[in-house]
Amino acid sequence: MAEEGYKVVLNVYDLSNGLARQLSTSFLGKPIEAIWHTGVVVYGNEYFFGGGIQSLPAGRTPYGRPVRVVELGETHIPREVFEDYLRDISPRYTAETYRLLSHNCNNFSHEVAQFLVGAGIPDYILKLPAEVMSSPMGPLIMPMIQNLESTLRTNAAPQATQFVPTPASVSVPPPQPQPNKPSSAAKSSSDDAKQQSEAGAAASADPLGGARGKVQEEVMREFAAIMASGTLRASEAAALAMRRVMERHGNAATTMQQS
């Protein structure tokens, strides 16, 4: 055990930059204070989960200045022991295991805090996904979240240097041409027509289906455009895409809830 203790704090960020507080009531039907992201600061570094377990000097993460700093306590665990622990849990914290609602940066911070000081992070941060999904718009948001998670897992993105390297991705050979198959353009047209037909049928069964599909498509378009710029990681691109759509459709969300 180390003779001296190390202060442990939680840096808390709002990925929406204040927009959640301004637009959540109209967009979700209930107030949401922020879209929380957290990192644990100890030994002069900040440790966080984003595409893998990462570590950067405190105050040098891509999330800017924290909106809150929560003192978690003091640990006497040596840095070497802590970093061995991170290597042990790293297979559970990869781009493939990331889940926006149930296995995210805040779940990582909670587990790390329990290891270091024997107590987790504040409940209001951990309970945010449940609050969002219990809102009137929760059922409409779930398919969009599932689509985003699928995209996050299948699209590589620039990432900060990871503290614990994740396994190298396996290269996938290009698909071989298949005989007697329609051309990609013809198949795309056929698929588009089929999707439009299915969307029309779904809209007639679900009055909000059209609005849900529109929001999903807009978020995915924004996400693809941001990723194409190559300047943000996938998790940050997803948050920015959602923010842009929230800005454009805050009033539209109110109309949908009242209909």
Q: Beta 68-75 vs 53-57: how paired, if at all? A: unpaired
The values of phi and psi at residue 54, to 5°, are -125, 155
Of 76, 103, 105, 249, which one is the catalytic site residue? 105
Distance CA(122)–CA(69), nearest Å, equals: 12
State both tokens at 159: 């990432």
* Conformation bin of residue 152: beta by default, left when phi > 0, alpha when psi is -120 to 50: alpha
| Whether 103 is catalytic | no
- Catalytic one among 37, 76, 110, 249? 37
SS3 175: coil
Q: Which two tokens stand for residue 152?
A: 């996050």
**Distance between alpha carbon 17 and the CA centroid of its chain, in Å?**
15
DSSP at 62: T
In the residue annotation, 105 being an active-site residue is answered as yes
Structure token pair of residue 38: 């957290």
The residues carrying an active-site annotation are: 37, 105
